[in-house]
Amino acid sequence: MPRILVCYKWVLDEQDIKINPGDLSLDSSKAKYKISDYDKNAIEEAMLLVESKEGSVDALTFGSDKVKQSLKDVLSRGPGKVDWIGDTAFEQADAFVTANVLAAAIRKNGSYDLILCGEGSSDSYSQQVAPRLAAILSIPAITFVQKISIDGSRIIATRKLGDCTEVVEVAGPAVLSVLPEINKPRIPSLKQVMAAAKKPSQEVKLADLQLGAEELQPKTITLSVKGYVMNRKNILYKEANQADNVAKLVASLAQEGMC
C-alpha cells in the first residue's frame, strides 16, 4: 500500500508561444497553461502503481498565483488530494529554490514511500528538481526511469542510458524522475473531471515553510529568453533538367551531413 507523491509544474503551453521575428522575444500573451507534459507521465505512473497495489497518490505543486487553476486538472487525472504553494517568488525561482520549497512542503505535510517527478519540465527542462529534492530529503534519487515496480519497501527501477538500460533497486522512500516513454497518460473521463471538484486541495503558504532568505534566493539568474530561429538557406536550383536539380539537392544535403 504505497503512499506516493507526484510533483508537477504548471507551465505555459509552448505551442501557444510565438516568437517575435524582430527581436526574437517570446510572446506568451495568448498562451494557455497546462500541466508539464512529463509530469503527466509521472501522475499516470503513480496511478498505475496504486491501481495494481492499492495505496494513495497525492500531488504537490509550486507555482505562481495562477497555479490554483491547475488543481482540478491534476485531480481529474487521479490523485486523491493536492497541496499547492502559489507565490510570486516562483517567478524568479530556479531548480534550487523549487527543490527547497517542495522539500519543505513534503517535510511539513507528510511522509511518502515514493516521490515521482517528470524527467524535466516542458518549459525550462533543467532536469534538476528531482535529484535536488532527493538530496535535500537525504533519500535516493533515480533518474531517467522507464519502468518502475514496487515490492514491499523495495523500489525497482529501470533506467534508460543511451543504448543500454540499467536496473536498480533502492529501499524507499526515494525520488524517481520518469521518462515520457514510461507510459501513455490517459485522458480523464468526464466522471473524473466532475469528481475532481469534490476532492480536497490545500494551500500551503510559502511563509509557513520557514525557509531562510538564502533558500529562496535563486542560484541561477536568467539574463534573457529568446526564440531560436533556424535561418533558411533559400537555395534555388534552376537547372533546365530536373535530374540536374535533384543531383544538386542530393549533393547539398550530403554536404550538410543530411544523407
Partner 1 sequence: MADMTLTHEQQKLQALAREFTAKHIIPVASEWDEKGEFHKFILEEVKNIGLHCMAVPKEYGGPGCDSVSQSVVMEQFGYGCCAFATTLGGNGLSSYPLAIAGTDEQKQLYYGRLVAGGMGGFALTEPGAGSDAGSCATTAKLDGDKWVLNGTKCFATTCGVANIMVVFASTDPSKGVKGLSAFIVEKERDGFSVGAVEHKMGIRSSNTVELLLKNVRIPKNHLLGNEGEGMKIAMKTLDMARPIVASMAVGVAQRALDAAVAFAKAYLDVNGKPIGMQQAVSFKLADMAIQVEAARQLVRNALRLKDAGVPYTKEAAIAKTFATDTAMQVSADAVGLMGNYGYSKDSFVEKLMRDAKVTQIYEGTNQVQRIVIAGQLLR
Partner 2 sequence: MSYALTEEQQLIQQSAREFTREYIEPIATEMDRTGIHPSAVVQQMAEHDFLGLYLPEEFGGTEAGYLSYVLIIEEISRMSGAVASILINHASLAAYTMYRFGSAVQKQECLPALCSGEKLAAFALTEPGAAPGVGSHKVIATKEGDHYVLNGHKCYVANGGVADIYVVFALTNPEAGAKGMSAFIVDAKAAGLSIQRTIGKMGLRGCQSAELIFENVMVPQSNLLGAAGAGMKIVKEAQLVASVAEGAQVVGIAQAAMEDAVKYGKQRVQFGRPIAAFPAIQTMLAEMATHIHIARLAVYDAASLIEKGEDFMKEAAMVKLFTGRIGQSALIDVIQIEGGYGYSQEMIASRFYRDIKGAVITESSAAFPEKVIADDLLA
Binding site for partner 2 (CB under 8 A): 69, 72-73, 76, 187-191, 193-194, 196-197
CA trace torsion 212, 138, 70, 217 (10° rounding): 30
Name the minimum Å distance from CB 71 to partner 2. Answer: 8
Segment (H or E) for 233? none
Nearer to partner 2, 20 or 69 (CB): 69
CA distance 118 to 145: 9
| Binding partner of residue 69 among partner 1, partner 2, none, CB cut-off 5 to 8 Å per kind | partner 2
**The three three-digit cell numbers of residue 67, written as one number:** 497555479
| Binding partner of residue 198 among partner 1, partner 2, none, CB cut-off 5 to 8 Å per kind | none
Q: Determine contact, residues 68/192, Cβ cutoff 8 Å.
A: no
Name the minimum Å distance from CB 234 to partner 1. Answer: 15
Nearer to partner 2, 172 or 188 (CB): 188
CA distance 237 to 225: 36
Closest alpha carbon to 142 in 187, 177, 96:
177
Name the minimum Å distance from CB 126 to partner 2. Answer: 26
Phi first, then psi, for residue 33 (nearest 5°) are -95, 160
| Binding partner of residue 242 among partner 1, partner 2, none, CB cut-off 5 to 8 Å per kind | partner 1
| Binding partner of residue 241 among partner 1, partner 2, none, CB cut-off 5 to 8 Å per kind | partner 1
Nearer to partner 1, 51 or 244 (CB): 244
Rule CB under 8 A: which residues touch partner 1? 240-242
Q: CB within 8 A of 223, min separation 6: which ones? A: none
Nearer to partner 1, 161 or 243 (CB): 243
